[in-house]
Amino acid sequence: MTRTDRLYALVEELRAVAPRPRSARWLADRFGVSSRTIERDLSALQQGGVPIWAEPGRTGGYCLDTTHTLAPLGFTVDEALAVMIALGALATSPFRDSAASALRKVVAVTDDHRLTETAELAARIHLLGDEKPTGAPPGLAAALRTGQVLRISYTDRDGGSTERDVEPMGFVGKGDSWYLIGWCRLRDGLRAFRGDRIVRAEPLIERAPRRPLRAEDLGIVEGRLRAVGPDSTIS
C-alpha cells in the first residue's frame, strides 16, 4: 500500500467508527506499519485541514469529525483531473495555500483506483509560467472574505514604495500574475495592485463597506474578463 492509499484508508477507517476513537497502535496493526508512521500520517492529514483530533486516556485515540469532512467523492477520472489541474494552476495566486489544502482533502477522499489513474494522467500535464516568483503575502486572500481594510506596502513598476490603506474588492488573474482590486484611500480611487509587488499586507480591525465592482470599472484594455463563479458577471 502506498502512502497516498494509506492516507485515504486512514480517513475512511476513522470515518467508519466516528465518533469513537482508534488508537495509533490499533491503526498501526491494521495497516502493517509502525505507530510512529501512523502518527506522522495523521499529522499530515491534520495539517491538510482534515478535522482529526486526539482524545487522551486509556481508551482514547484519534477521532474524525464527520460533520466537517467530505464524503467519498464520486468524481470521474476526467473530473478529478480537471479539479487537480485547476487547483494546481492557483500555485502562484493569493489562494495557493487554500488550493494546496483543498487538493489534499480531495486526494484523501477520492476512490483509490481513480486517484491512481488521475495521478498518472496529471503527470503528463504541465503549466508553463515565468521563472520569477509571483506570489503574494500570506493572508491576502482572506481579506476579501473578511472585508477588513488592508494596510499594504507596495512597490510600483518604477521601484517607488508607498504605504496605503486599501479596501479589498476582488482579484483578477492574468497568466501567473494576480492583482488585488481595491479602493485605494491614498489615491481615493479604484486601483489594481500586482501580488508580487505587495511587500506586506496587514489586516486592520476596520471592516470596509462592500463596494460594487463592475467589469467596466476595471478598464481592461487587453483580453476578455471571465468570472470564475456560477455567474458570468462580476458583482
Q: What is the CATH number of the domain that holds 210?
A: 2.30.30
User: What is the span of the domain harbouring residue 23?
Assistant: 3-68
Note whether residue 182 is domain-resident. Answer: yes
The mean pLDDT values, 10 residues at a time, for the chain of 235 residues are: 80 82 91 92 86 82 75 75 89 84 74 82 84 68 88 91 94 87 93 91 90 79 70 47
Note whether residue 193 is domain-resident. Answer: yes
39 with 83, same domain? no
Note whether residue 234 is domain-resident. Answer: no
Q: Compute the Cα dihedral for 21, 26, 31, 33 and give only its sign.
A: positive
21 with 43, same domain? yes
State the pTM of this model.
0.63
pLDDT the model gives residue 13: 84
146 with 196, same domain? yes
Cβ 110 vs Cβ 83: under 8 Å: no
Note whether residue 116 is domain-resident. Answer: yes
Within a 10 A sphere around the Cβ of 45, how many other Cβ atoms? 22
103 with 160, same domain? no
pLDDT the model gives residue 235: 42
The whole-angstrom separation of Cα 74 and Cα 94 is 29
Q: What residue type is assigned to position 145 of the chain?
A: R
**If you ran DSSP here, which 8-state letter would residue 6 be given?**
H
Q: What are the residues whose beta carbons fall under 8 Å from the beta carbon of 99, sequence distance 6 or more?
A: 87, 88, 90, 91, 93
For β-strands 52-55 and 189-194, DSSP reports them as unpaired
pLDDT the model gives residue 234: 45
The whole-angstrom separation of Cα 147 and Cα 144 is 5
Cα–Cα–Cα angle for 68, 72, 74, rounded to 5 degrees:
130
Classify residue 83 as exposed, middle or buried by CB count within 10 Å of its CB (0-12, 13-18, 19+): middle
pLDDT the model gives residue 7: 85
38 with 81, same domain? no
Q: How many structural domains compose the chain?
A: 3
46 with 81, same domain? no
61 with 82, same domain? no
